[in-house]
Amino acid sequence: MLKKIALSCLALTMCSTLAAGEQSQMRKKVAIITNFSETDAAAHSLVKNFTDTLEMSTPRNIAFQHDYYWAGGNIDAAKSHAKRIVSSQPDAIFAATTPVVRALLQETKTIPIVFATVADPVGSGFVENLAAPGKNVSGFINSEGSIAGKWVQYLKELVPGMSCVSMMYNPNTAPYYKYYVSPFEETARSMNMISALSPVADEKAIETAIGALSSKKCGLVLMNDSFNFIHRRTISSVSERNGVPVAAYNKATTQDEALVAYGPEEADAYKKAAGYVRKILDGAQVGKLPVQLNTHFYLSVNMQKAKKLGIQIPDSFLSRVDEEVE
């Protein structure tokens, strides 16, 4: 009889322990939204840096539900996704690119938002200042406006005879475009080049803009804009067909349309953003987490593109390159 009672007590203890374990398993919902295309492998790779880092930094008693939203460069889709996300009341939101952050902030002033691939959060009205954002949002800036001057310098170095240069962007997806314009124009002027702006909104406009540059023998600079990222393969084929050399802002663009690219290692920002989300889930106030600038920048050149354009890359340039894309 005593043996049966002991076994019963043991069984009850085990059941109680299991029940407690189940109760201690906390579930957290993190919504992930970008203005990139769902079919874009490069975009998925960036987002995976965020999710993998978040999972690895989390204790075993916490399980995540990740909800993914891809706006695909469509502002209306971004707004629709933002409404759906806020109505689902996630514990935190990770937002990549300016358009989706803007859409989210129109829907919530309380749910914590951590961003990456955003250019000018102060000028865009997202945060009060970088050191103390003060609202429900913080994150990582991909580059400062001065980087536009670097794009012009590198393109001119590779194409010394170039006498004019234009910068392409979509005003709808890059409402911060003025952030880059002054450094772009000032650098072009200092190098005795005529500068122009090429605002575009669709692929037909891309073809028209690049065709006009070809007749003037101009170069093209791509602003850090999700529209340019989404349409990078179209830009690649059209610019190559028209013999227009392109300077851009990240590794993915060098692998597609750009002759040369200089910009941040965006994967770093996505990993660091996961760290911010982890802190928020632990109780940190997002408005007290400083906005940070990417610190790891790289220079890459597309050797195959150079060959197709008949451009000889000098050894002095190659000695400074972080990556040669073949």
Which tokens go with 237?
A: 């084929």
The region of weakest confidence among 199-213, 246-260, 271-285 is: 246-260
Q: How many residues does the chain have?
A: 326
Question: Which of these ranges, 77-81, 197-201, 255-259, has the smallest mean pLDDT?
Answer: 255-259
Domain with CATH 3.40.50.2300 in the chain: 26-143+265-297, 147-263+298-325
For strands 297-302 and 260-264, give the pairing. Answer: antiparallel
Q: Are strands 137-141 and 26-34 parallel, antiparallel or unpaired?
A: unpaired
Q: Rounded to 5 degrees, what angle do the CA atoms 253, 72, 227 make?
A: 45
Helix (H) or strand (E) holding 234: helix 232-241
What lies within 8 Å, CB to CB, of 131 at 6+ separation is 290, 291
User: If you average pLDDT over residues 250-268, what whole number do you get?
Assistant: 79
- Give me the mean pLDDT over the 14-29 stretch: 55
CATH code of 147-263+298-325, in short, is 3.40.50.2300
Q: What is the DSSP letter of 198?
A: E
DSSP state of 265: -
Query: Which residues are within 8 A (CB) of 143 and not within 5 positions of it... i.e. 6 or more apart?
Result: 119, 224, 249, 263, 264, 293, 294
Point out the least confidently predicted range of 81-85, 90-94, 256-260.
256-260
Its pTM stands at: 0.86
Paired tokens of 256: 């597609």
pLDDT at residue 297 greater than cutoff 60: yes
pLDDT above 70 coverage of the chain, percent: 89
pLDDT, position 33: 97
Position 216 scores a pLDDT of 86
Q: Hey, is 119 helix, strand or coil?
A: coil
For 157-205, what is each residue's pLDDT tens digit? 999 999 999 999 999 999 999 999 999 999 999 999 999 999 999 999 9
Which has more confidence, 244 or 143?
244
CB-based contact 155:165 (threshold 8 Å): yes
Would the pLDDT of 298 be above 90?
no
Q: What is d(CA 121, CA 102) in angstroms, rounded to the nearest whole number? A: 10
| Residues 36, 96 contacting (CB under 8 angstroms) | yes
pLDDT at site 295:
79
pLDDT band per the 50, 70, 90 thresholds, residue 253: low
The contacts of residue 8 (CB under 8 Å, 6+ apart) are none
Q: How far apart are alpha carbons 34 and 116 in whole angstroms? A: 9
The type of residue at 299 is: L
Domain 26-143+265-297 -> CATH class: alpha beta
Q: Average pLDDT of the chain?
A: 88
Please state, in angstroms and rounded to a whole number, the distance separating the CA atoms of residues 166 and 145.
16
Q: SS3 sequence, 133-156?
A: CCCCEEEEECCCCCHHHHHHHHHH
Say yes or no to pLDDT of 286 above 80.
yes
Place 246 in a pLDDT band, splitting at 50, 70 and 90: very high
- CB-based contact 152:131 (threshold 8 Å): no
User: How high is the pLDDT of residue 138?
Assistant: 97
